């Protein structure tokens, strides 16, 4: 049940600079309301910054592109008035009876005047506080309301924005800031839910209330199971605010909420409702809640801060978060992508850095769902308050009371989220003494949670609880005064986090690399792929760094000014670390540089997390990487870019942070197994194989019957190679951890290594090695959502069934973070059940030719929209895409399972295309046709043909190129002299038939709109007339007829009428941009001989996608659309126009119109070119006897 009467006002806003609006707020909301986006008013982005609105309306350049930010005037230079803006919208709200309505603002930066229907309210200052206005007496009786908000920037300018408003209807009593807390006893078997809520009575009489709390949990099939329902009577005095605490609700063995990688993220829905005697339902509130207990203390062994969830220690592996978008163009969809990316990396904590913001409930909602613990800082950061050179203001912020007011409100807003783990006063700084003291006091732990954090104490000693924990401001989470205090870094506030530069991978494993137990910030490089650079910078930003060799034999990278501006971190550290990109050879261009950067990114971040995990609990309790992402197109430390494309470092982290993981200690060369789960691993085996660049297996060994204790990292054995005599300069190491009973792969880890003192330059020519691959894919489609399941096999060597290497039974993780050791068949069933109502195509096989044996190295999938007129620098990627793995390598004969999921943008359908590249690219074709158009000019003998015309263009824009005055078009002089929009253009209704009527086309309209529902054979022939020319044929001026839709889906399970076969039209890849359109009139009538008919149907039953690519491994492209052979139902609601029947009477009996009409405007794709043999094979359709067309025929 949704919240009562709530409506978000986040669309339909207008904005205007205050100095350009001459009206008052009263006038704007009474007599002179803006009518639309007319000067000075523009469409506004809400929520979002003023700058976001200016960018949307192209009034300032995109500050994230290149150096454009430098061309935008700063508020310090322009003055506050320049960025003081009006925001205006309308909304419908008609009250009945004794309803009340509040106008709520999540946050406004920094202060505002609110005008509603001519009434003014002034909101107090503060960017991190909520505002609620009772507008019951202001809304219009007819329900139509005018709202204007004048937003002022900070008195001392800052850079945080206004957010959208929200209206809430309720009866006399309103529910305010409920607090939910759970307490646990008997080893988490007996659990209590404590609920306290505020109630506000806005009426003038005592409100006799029935206060209800309902707790439900969702079960399979979308049904809800009621866990608790309790009703209490509460009297609220007139105009009063009260707090009411329910008697505790008891649960036995509820499903617990766990962090990512430790178990399911079980959530219950808690709904609180209030009914007022005489008025009925008054207000409603609901929230997802997870039963979990978080404890934290300083670990006695490591000195680092230790976290426990539900009694289990959590080894923290996560990163630092700034905010999703610097202009606060935030949406649930973007938040979901951001947080799922963190879950995909196997992270379990996000730190909301103090220089950012108190994140929004939408952010926390997805952290609850995906199991990310959140470290939330308040708005103190050492580089602004009290630290730095010179020392900044130690007493900041300026208004201490306002800061505390915002802090209290933030706690109330976020405290019910199970993902919220701790509060921290500031980044690398503590708040001023009075603020810090107040936060410590107001965020003190309830005695139950305080005792539970102290070892040796029993919670049973304080049961029953002396006071209800839900009556505290929080009471359940610790407050730490700063990010480098009390178990973080050195614990005393010294600058002891970092480092933030490139490192040798083996350094992360050495004991002297970092000496404290919990590092809140350690960072490194973050170069994205080349496509992102081209998409976010002009060509002058595509220049790669200069590599300047120094006298000490180190190299200094000198980036171009644009990269410098975007905070590029070099891949060298002169005097300490040699350039890691040059280990692979000098890059030749942007693509080569970014590819080598991805190799380094993968190795760097995998080593960072593996190094920390190698000393889990013995030296470290956790690490947070600086940083996970950038809120703009920055190049400093990131795992995915602002456009949501992952770097290879993303997958290095994903590998290293697996709950169960096999790894190589790069300092000791010991193979280690990491078990962060709560269960002991028994009866497992490690398979070790080493490979040279020629595909030879240099070393193979299996270590069986291993047992790995829970929450431990165990060294298993030391690698002999490369200490042996059989050395190669560069080699590959593949480690696999198996579950012996079913050969399920628990962990897989692939390394490329060189001998001490060497480098990776031998990998440079290896990229061109032609290693054959076979990809078997299956696509599941549900609306715009696509899931692709691919088995990728290196076929350069046949599998040897005697080796574990080829027993590839992948154990997948459910979204809840648990391991599923079921068979692949069970996994398939689960996916199909998950996509119930979706559509799965048949298995598709794509093969990449190659004759060489070897490792298929560093394979990368990406998904693109296919464009025929692709321009350099144009970004064709479909983003975001979630991959189960990427940037991976396959040993000879090895197979891997890779899953992709993504949303297909409107107007894009699956299509495969070949293109020179080093990656595996899955292409999607946009839903358009490139047309060849023939123009016939009346009363002349001029016939002109255009090829490769984008159907989104207007006919006017195409023909105008032919009607420009020149010495060669004197025959068209009269046409050139006429205004283009006065020309009359026609196309036959039926391409065949001399008496066919003509449609009159709109020369200004797009081609697609004109032609998408017409019968076109070969290509359209358009007749051009002058305004003075008479028309000696029937002209139809009505709109183009609506497309005919089949009202019943076709299924191959139903028999087709005799002589009729349905199939989807097939588009072939061709070097030319011309469309290939089936010519039905140049085929032969099918023989009545049954043998020939049988052969024909066998051809149709052959998968259309069984093709072989003609390029090497680095030119592989995968296909993902379905191919169907569908029959027609006898009761299908389909009808031909009579004129069409007359024109094609010799074909109708034999042919289904779907063979040449594109009802949906969608075409299936295929991989690689299909060799054209003769007319029958070219058409793959029903042969008909040869017959010439009247017009539109392309000469052979």
Q: Which of 171, 359, 377, 521 is catalytic?
A: 521
| Known active-site residue 433 | no
Helix axes 648-656, 590-614, angle to 10 degrees: 20
Q: Which of 411, 420, 352, 353 is nearest to 382 (CA)?
A: 353
DSSP 25-90: HHHHTTT----SS-TT-EE--SSS-HHHHHHHTTSS--TTSTTGGGGSPPHHHH-GGGG-EEEEEE
CA 1038 – CA 1040 distance, rounded (Å):
6
Q: Which of 377, 428, 557, 1166 is catalytic?
A: 428
CA 624 – CA 321 distance, rounded (Å):
10
CA 679 to chain CA centroid, Å, is: 32
> What is each CA distance from 128 to 124, 131, 158, 326, in whole angstroms?
11, 10, 13, 16
CA 97 – CA 95 distance, rounded (Å):
7
The SS3 of residue 882 is: strand
Q: What is the dihedral of CA 1073, 1079, 1083, 1085, to 10 degrees?
A: 150
Q: Which residues contact 285 (CB under 8 A, 6 or more apart)?
A: 3, 175, 178, 197, 271, 272, 273
**Tokens representing 678?**
């709560």
**Tokens representing 177?**
């800031």
CA 274 – CA 98 distance, rounded (Å):
14
CA 915 – CA 874 distance, rounded (Å):
14
CA 600 – CA 65 distance, rounded (Å):
25
**Tokens representing 1196?**
């052979």
Q: Which of 499, 522, 479 is nearest to 624 (CA)?
A: 522
Contact criterion met (CB below 8 Å) for 750 and 736: no
Q: Which of 315, 261, 310, 297 is nearest to 619 (CA)?
A: 315
Phi, psi of 210 (to 5 degrees): -100, 115
Contact criterion met (CB below 8 Å) for 529 and 599: no
Q: Which residues contact 884 (CB under 8 A, 6 or more apart)?
A: 812, 897, 898, 899, 900
Q: Which residues contact 311 (CB under 8 A, 6 or more apart)?
A: 187, 188, 293, 295
| Known active-site residue 521 | yes
Q: What is the dihedral of CA 678, 684, 690, 696, to 10 degrees?
A: -140
Q: Which helix (H) or strand (E) holds 411?
A: helix 400-414
CA 689 – CA 736 distance, rounded (Å):
9
Helix axes 433-442, 400-414, angle to 10 degrees: 30
The SS3 of residue 1076 is: coil
Question: Which positions are catalytic?
Answer: 428, 521
């Amino acid at each position: 049940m949704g919240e009562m009467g709530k409506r978000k006002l986040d669309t339909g806003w207008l904005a205007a600079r205050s100095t350009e609006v001459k009206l008052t707020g009263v006038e704007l909301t009474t007599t002179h309301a803006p009518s639309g986006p007319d000067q000075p008013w523009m469409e506004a982005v809400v929520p979002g910054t003023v700058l976001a609105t200016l960018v949307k309306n192209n009034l300032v350049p995109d500050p994230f592109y290149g150096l454009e930010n430098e061309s935008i005037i700063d508020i310090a230079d322009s003055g506050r008035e320049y960025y003081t803006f009006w925001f205006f919208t309308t909304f419908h709200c008609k009250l009945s009876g004794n309803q009340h309505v509040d106008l709520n603002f999540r946050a406004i930066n920094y202060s505002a005047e609110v005008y509603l229907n001519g009434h003014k309210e002034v909101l107090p200052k503060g960017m991190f506080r909520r505002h609620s206005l009772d507008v019951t007496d202001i809304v219009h009786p007819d329900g139509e309301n005018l709202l204007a908000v004048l937003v002022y920037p900070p008195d001392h300018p800052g850079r945080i924005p206004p957010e959208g408003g929200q209206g809430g209807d309720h009866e006399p009593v309103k529910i305010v800031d409920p607090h939910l807390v759970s307490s646990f006893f008997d080893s988490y078997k007996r659990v209590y839910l404590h609920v306290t809520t505020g109630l506000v009575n806005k009426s003038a009489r005592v409100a006799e209330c029935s206060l209800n709390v309902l707790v439900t949990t969702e079960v399979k099939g979308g049904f809800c199971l009621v866990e608790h329902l309790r009703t209490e009577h509460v009297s609220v005095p007139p105009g009063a605010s009260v707090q009411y605490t329910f008697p505790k609700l008891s649960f036995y063995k509820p499903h617990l909420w766990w962090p990512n990688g430790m178990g399911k993220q079980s959530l219950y829905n808690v709904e609180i409702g209030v009914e007022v005697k005489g008025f009925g339902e008054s207000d409603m509130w609901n929230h997802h809640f997870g039963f979990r207990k978080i404890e934290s203390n300083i670990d006695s062994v490591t000195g680092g801060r230790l976290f426990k969830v539900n009694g289990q220690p959590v080894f923290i592996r996560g990163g630092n978060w700034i905010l999703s978008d610097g202009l606060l163009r935030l949406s649930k969809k973007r938040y979901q992508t951001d947080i799922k990316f963190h879950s995909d990396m196997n992270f379990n904590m996000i730190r909301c850095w103090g220089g950012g913001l108190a994140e929004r409930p939408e952010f926390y909602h997805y952290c609850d769902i995906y199991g990310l613990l959140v470290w939330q800082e308040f708005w103190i950061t050492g580089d602004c308050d009290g630290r730095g050179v010179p020392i900044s203001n130690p007493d900041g912020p300026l208004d201490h009371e306002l800061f505390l007011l915002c802090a209290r409100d933030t706690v109330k807003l976020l405290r019910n989220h199970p993902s919220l783990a701790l509060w921290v006063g500031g980044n690398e700084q503590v708040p001023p003494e009075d603020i810090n003291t107040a936060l410590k006091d107001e965020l003190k732990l309830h005695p139950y949670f305080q005792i539970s954090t102290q070892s040796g104490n029993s919670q049973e000693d304080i049961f029953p609880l002396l006071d209800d924990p839900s009556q505290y401001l929080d009471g359940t989470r610790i407050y730490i005064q700063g990010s480098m205090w009390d178990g973080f870094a050195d614990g005393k506030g010294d600058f002891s986090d970092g480092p933030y530069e490139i490192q040798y991978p083996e350094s992360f494993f050495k004991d002297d690399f970092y000496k404290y137990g919990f590092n809140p910030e350690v960072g490194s490089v973050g170069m994205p792929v080349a496509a992102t650079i081209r998409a976010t910078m002009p060509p002058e930003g595509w220049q790669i760094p200069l590599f300047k060799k120094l006298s000490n034999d180190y190299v200094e990278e000198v980036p171009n000014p644009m990269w410098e501006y975007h905070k590029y971190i070099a891949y060298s550290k002169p005097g300490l670390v040699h350039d890691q990109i040059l280990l692979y050879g000098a890059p030749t261009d942007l693509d080569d540089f970014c590819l080598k950067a991805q190799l380094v990114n993968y190795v760097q971040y995998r080593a960072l997390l593996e190094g920390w995990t190698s000393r889990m609990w013995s030296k470290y309790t956790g690490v947070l990487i600086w940083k996970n992402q950038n809120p703009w197109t920055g190049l400093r430390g990131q795992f995915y870019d602002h456009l949501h494309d992952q770097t290879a470092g993303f997958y290095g982290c994903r590998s290293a942070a697996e709950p169960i993981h096999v790894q190589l200690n790069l300092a000791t060369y010991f193979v280690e197994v990491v078990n962060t789960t709560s269960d002991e691993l028994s009866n497992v085996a490690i398979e070790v194989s080493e490979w040279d660049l020629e595909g030879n297996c240099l070393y193979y060994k299996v270590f069986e019957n291993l047992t790995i204790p829970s929450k431990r990292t165990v060294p298993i054995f030391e690698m002999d190679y490369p200490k042996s005599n059989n050395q190669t300069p560069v080699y590959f190491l593949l480690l696999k951890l198996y579950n012996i009973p079913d050969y399920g792969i628990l962990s897989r880890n692939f390394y490329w290594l060189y001998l001490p003192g060497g480098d990776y330059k031998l990998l440079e020519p290896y990229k061109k090695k032609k290693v054959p691959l076979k990809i078997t894919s299956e696509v599941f489609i549900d609306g715009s959502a696509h899931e692709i399941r691919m088995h990728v096999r290196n076929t350069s060597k046949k599998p040897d069934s005697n080796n574990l290497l080829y027993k590839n039974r992948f154990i997948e993780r459910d979204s809840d973070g648990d391991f599923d050791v079921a068979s692949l068949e069970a996994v398939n069933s689960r996916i199909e059940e998950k996509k119930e109502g979706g559509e799965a195509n048949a298995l598709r096989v794509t093969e990449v030719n190659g004759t060489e044996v070897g490792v298929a190295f560093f394979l990368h999938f990406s998904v693109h929209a296919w464009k025929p007129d692709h321009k350099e620098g144009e970004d064709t990627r479909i983003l975001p895409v979630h991959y189960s793995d990427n940037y991976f390598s396959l040993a000879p004969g090895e197979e891997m399972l890779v899953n992709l999921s993504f949303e297909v943008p409107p107007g894009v359908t699956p299509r495969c295309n070949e293109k020179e590249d080093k990656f595996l690219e899955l292409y999607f074709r946009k839903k358009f046709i490139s047309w060849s158009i023939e123009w016939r000019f009346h009363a002349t003998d001029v016939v002109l043909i255009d090829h490769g015309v984008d159907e989104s263009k207007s006919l006017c824009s195409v023909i105008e190129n032919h009607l420009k005055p020149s010495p060669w078009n004197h025959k068209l002089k009269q046409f050139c002299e006429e205004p283009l929009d006065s020309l009359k253009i026609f196309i036959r209704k039926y391409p065949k038939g001399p008496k066919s009527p003509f449609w009159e086309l709109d020369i200004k309209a797009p081609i697609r709109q004109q032609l998408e529902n017409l019968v076109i054979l070969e290509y359209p022939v358009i007749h051009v007339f002058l305004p003075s020319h008479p028309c000696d044929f029937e002209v139809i001026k009505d709109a183009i007829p609506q497309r005919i839709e089949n009202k019943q889906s076709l299924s191959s399970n139903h028999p087709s009428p005799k002589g009729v076969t349905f199939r989807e039209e097939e588009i072939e890849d061709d070097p030319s941009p011309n469309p290939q359109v089936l010519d039905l009139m140049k085929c032969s009538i099918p023989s009545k001989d049954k043998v020939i008919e049988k052969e024909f149907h066998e051809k149709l039953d052959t998968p259309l996608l069984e093709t072989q690519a003609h390029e090497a491994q680095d030119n592989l492209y995968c296909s993902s659309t379905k191919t169907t052979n569908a029959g027609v139902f006898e009761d299908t609601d389909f009808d031909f126009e009579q004129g069409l029947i007359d024109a094609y009477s010799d074909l109708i009996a034999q042919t289904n119109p779907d063979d040449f009409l594109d009802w949906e405007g969608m075409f299936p794709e295929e991989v690689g070119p299909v060799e054209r043999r003769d007319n029958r094979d070219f058409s793959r359709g029903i042969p008909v006897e040869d017959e010439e067309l009247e017009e539109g025929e392309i000469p052979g």
